[in-house]
Amino acid sequence: MSAPDDGDVVLVRRGTYHDSVTLMRISRALTEMSGVEAAMVAMATDLNLAVIRDLGFIVPEAAPGDLLIALRADDVKTAVEEADRQLTAYQQPESPADQPPLTTYSAARTPADLVLVSVPGEYAFCEAHDAIQAGLPVMIFSDGVTVAQERRLKELAETKDVLVMGPDCGTAVIGGVGLGFANVLSPGPVGVVAASGTGAQQVTCLLDWAGTGVSHVLGVGGRDLSAEVGGLSTLRALRMLDEDPATELIVLISKPPSPEVARAVQEVRLRTPVVRALLQEGAPDLTEATEQALRALGRPVPEWPSWPAWSGKRARNKTIKGIYSGGTLNSEAAMIAGQGDFVDYGDDAYTRGRAHPMIDPTLRVEALSRAEETDVVLMDVVLGHGADPDPAASLAHAVARTPATVVIALVGTEGDPQDLHRQAAAFREAGAAVFTSNAQAARHARSLL
Supply the DSSP string of 378-435, one letter for each residue.
Answer: EEEEE-SBTS-S-HHHHHHHHHHH-SSEEEEEEE--TTSTT-HHHHHHHHHHTT-EEE
Q: What is the pLDDT of residue 2?
A: 47
Ranges of the chain with pLDDT below 70: 1-6, 91-100, 311-315, 353
Helix (H, G, I), strand (E, B), or coil: what is residue 307? Answer: strand
Domain boundaries, given as residue ranges, for the chain: 7-91, 105-296, 306-447
**What fold, for 7-91?**
Alpha-Beta Plaits (3.30.70)
Residues 4 and 72 sit within 8 Å (Cβ to Cβ): no
Amino acid at 60: P
Residue 208: other Cβ atoms inside 10 A: 21
CA trace torsion 360, 365, 366, 368 (10° rounding): 150
How far is 55 from 73, CA to CA, in rounded Å? 13
Q: What is the pTM of this model?
A: 0.85
Q: What is the pLDDT of residue 309?
A: 87
**What CATH number labels 105-296?**
3.40.50.261
- Tens digits of residue pLDDT in 195-224: 999 999 999 999 999 999 999 999 999 999
Q: What is the pLDDT of residue 356?
A: 86
Q: What is the pLDDT of residue 273?
A: 97
Rounded to the nearest angstrom, the gap between the alpha carbon of residue 259 and the centroid of all alpha carbons in its chain is 27
| Interstrand relation of 187-195 and 214-219 (parallel, antiparallel or unpaired) | parallel
Q: Which H or E element spans position 38?
A: strand 36-43
**Which of 157, 109, 106 has the alpha carbon at shortest distance from 133?**
157
Helix (H, G, I), strand (E, B), or coil: what is residue 150? Answer: helix
**What fold, for 306-447?**
Rossmann fold (3.40.50)
Residues 332 and 344 sit within 8 Å (Cβ to Cβ): no
Measured at the alpha carbon of residue 14, what is the angle toward residues 70 and 31, in degrees to the nearest 5?
Answer: 20
187 Rama class: left (phi>0) / alpha (psi -120 to 50) / beta: beta
**Which of 255, 130, 116 has the alpha carbon at shortest distance from 181?**
116
Q: What is the pLDDT of residue 24?
A: 81
Those residues with Cβ within 8 angstroms of residue 433's Cβ, 6 or more apart along the chain or in another chain: 306, 307, 308, 309, 406, 407, 408, 441, 444
295 Rama class: left (phi>0) / alpha (psi -120 to 50) / beta: alpha
Do the domains 105-296 and 7-91 match in fold?
no
Residues 237 and 174 sit within 8 Å (Cβ to Cβ): no
What is the DSSP code (8-state) at residue 144?
-
Strand order in the sheet with 164-165: 115-117, 138-140, 164-165
Strand ranges inside 260-317, DSSP E: 274-278, 306-307
Which DSSP string do the residues of 164-227 spell out, in sequence order? EE-SS--EEEETTEEEESB----EEEEEEEEE-HHHHHHHHHHHHHTT--EEEEEE--TTTTST
